Amino acid sequence: MPAKSPVIVDLKFIPEEVEAALQGAFPDREVINRADPAQRNRDLSGIDYAVVWISAPDLFSRAPDLKVVFSGGAGVDHVLTLPGLPDVPLVRFVDQTLTTRMSEWVVMQCLLHLRQHRAYEALAQKREWRDLIQPEAADVTVGIMGMGVLGQDAARKLAVMGFNVIGWSRTMRAIEGMDSYGASDLDAFLARTDFLVGLLPLTAETKGIFDADLFAKLSRKGPFGAPVFINAGRGGSQVEADILECLDSGVLGAASLDVFEEEPLSPDSRFWTMPNVYVTPHVAASSDVKALFAHVEQQIARFESGMPLEHVVDRLAGY
């Protein structure tokens, strides 16, 4: 029996987490972790598989014989723009741990804004004991743009918390118990939305979609007067100059941002210090690396047994 192909691992994750996850992973084949200095100049020809996340720019020129590329996350826009990406199946990471983490972040941000957490933090800094008028979740409509696996899970959990939840996607998805909108109904969707949650993939159609024109169409009838923007999809989908302008002018009342046009976010960005903005460093749905490797093992087993790969990216659609 011929030797099984090694797996190239080129992940810009926490190195210690990757090393720990590799213990016991891929037990029947060699792993080439390019974070290991001893492996950086390794001959990568003749290798079938690579697991990538913000990989080194020379990866594909050094590994010309790949048969499958695995993304280390649910998003693949950064992989699609890597130099020399071969014309082979690109598989995105789909796992319950990733879905759960994203939903936790979305629910947390909605609750932070609902319960006026920043206002209470400011009062606490002044040692001021004061009650604020408190709406409940049922008073707020959360509109989610991007109703894939992540969006649907977040919608279900927000509904459990009592929020009114509506969903929008380019192709309308019928979801029981929730009003759904498609591409031609975007304005109607926005007019009902008090808290806007962005979970869109980055495609030609979604690049810069969250701009001043879109924010101006959001509901101003909610309990806080001005709408809230919450984005954990992709930084390229938002126009940050417009977000800042809308926060300054009151078109937006607040924001929670996990993704940015350029990452890492510049230390000089105003977002860091704005009292009505929560910033997190692209960690809303950080991949569980052990779960990622288990997913890759499962897909390789399918591929080598002649079964179709799952979660293959449609490169024209971009997801």
Return the active site residues. Answer: 234, 282
- Site of tokens 């992940």: 11
Distance, CA of 194 to chain centre: 21
DSSP states of 116-160 as a string?
A: THHHHHHHHHTT---------GGG-EEEEE--SHHHHHHHHHHHH
Kindly provide the b/e burial profile for residues 231-258, where b requires at least 16 CB atoms within 10 angstroms of the residue's own CB: bbbbbbbbbbebbbebbeeebbbbbbbb
Spatial separation of the C-alpha atoms in residues 128 and 203, rounded to whole Å:
47
Specify the 3-state DSSP secondary structure of 300: helix
Tokens standing for residue 49: 């598989």
Spatial separation of the C-alpha atoms in residues 62 and 90, rounded to whole Å:
18
Residue type at 281? P
Kindly provide the b/e burial profile for residues 35-66, where b requires at least 16 CB atoms within 10 angstroms of the residue's own CB: eeeeeeeeebeebbbbbbbebeeebbebbeeb
Contact 110, 142 (CB under 8 A): yes
Residue among 92, 73, 96, 81 nearest 12 (CA): 73
Across the chain, which distance is largest between two alpha carbons, in Å? 74
